[in-house]
Amino acid sequence: MTTRRRPAWPKRKRIVIWILILIVFCLAIPGLLSFAVLRLPRQVVLPNQGGARALLRTAGYAPVIVTASDGVQLRGYSIHRPEARGTVVLVHGWGPNLATLDADAGISLSRGLTWRGWIYGAWGRRRYPLDVGFSEVGDLRSLFSHLRAEGRLPRPVVLSGISLGATIALLAAAEEPEVVGVIADSPFNRLEEAVDHYAARSLPIMPKYPMRWLTLRLVELQVGRRLSSLSVESVLPKLAPRPILLMHCEGDSLVLCRNSDQIAAAYPEHTEYWRIPGGDHLSARWQDPDEWERRVDAFLERVAPALRAP
């Protein structure tokens, strides 16, 4: 008895199937990455929980809720100084470093860096998905509008931000005339480059074309904006001549140090740049807390002496 052989697929059909598989793969990976960029994990990182507890015990600590222009509720806190002679606004970045910012603020207060003014902390969007900076700049400006309406924005105003929050602070400061200076820890300069680096870091074997390029376009599709339209260096002419204290660790693997290099090079006359050897993302104040405090204290003394407690 002879067995019947199943006829082999024509070569053309096999080629078409492999092309379809490749197309699906090329679409699926960038799609998942673009989704992940806007929904980073919401883990809590507290390098020093004692700092956060010190913050919560600070006299005058109170929660604050502000409604943004799109109806999202923004939650933060204020620390009221009866002798307030200015305002400091602390701006966090993506979810994981929110608690780090709170801890840093608590450590600053417990170490004696007691700014004599209103302190508003944790201003940034906690809703997911994020808009990678577009809505968050508007959120910070909503806080300014809210405080002006209530008469709780004593001048001078200093913004202090970390990571994405540092970029938001720089972008918002260019639009807010009350701001006299910005402390920016590990900001990114150009959003498109930052997202591209995140995609390359997440999947190193992924080629720039077409897959990382497609990831950027899918992120743009989700946020409804061109990523190239958001960059710090483009607003620096509006920020001038107000000074920046810029700090970045050379070993930062999440937001490369070259971002701060670019900002400092584009704004040299008004930038004090502290480039820290080694370290990683947001580790400047943990690398050398005494030097961090000295630089922040000296910056405040120079741009807003009224904020410095005697």
Task: Tell me which H or E stretch contains 102.
Answer: helix 98-110
Which of 182, 170, 162, 40 lies closest to 98, judged by CA? 162
Tell me what pLDDT residue 184 has.
94
Tell me what pLDDT residue 42 has.
41
Tell me what pLDDT residue 241 has.
96
Tell me what pLDDT residue 116 has.
45
Which of 161, 60, 50 lies closest to 103, judged by CA? 50
Tell me what pLDDT residue 208 has.
77
Could you tell me the two tokens for 122?
């944790």
Tell me what pLDDT residue 43 has.
38
Tell me what pLDDT residue 308 has.
61
Could you tell me the two tokens for 224?
């409804």
What domains, with CATH codes, occur in the chain?
47-207+233-307 (3.40.50.1820)
Tell me what pLDDT residue 48 has.
43
Q: Which amino acid is at 244?
A: I
Considering Cα of 95, then 97, then 103, then 107, what sign does the dihedral take?
A: negative
227 and 219 in contact (C-beta within 8 Å)?
yes
Eight-class DSSP state of 175: T
Count of CB atoms situated within 10 Å of the CB of 78 = 17
For the chain, the distance separating the N- and C-terminal CA atoms, rounded to the nearest angstrom, is 104
Q: What is the pLDDT tens value at each position of the chain, 310 positions in all?
A: 555 555 555 767 667 666 666 666 666 666 666 656 555 544 333 344 444 455 555 556 777 788 877 787 777 777 766 666 778 888 877 654 455 555 555 444 444 434 444 556 555 554 444 556 777 888 888 888 888 888 877 788 889 888 888 999 999 999 999 999 999 999 999 999 988 888 888 777 777 777 788 888 888 887 788 889 999 999 999 999 999 999 999 999 989 999 999 999 999 999 999 999 999 888 888 788 889 888 988 898 899 887 665 5
Which residue is it, tokens 């004090």?
272
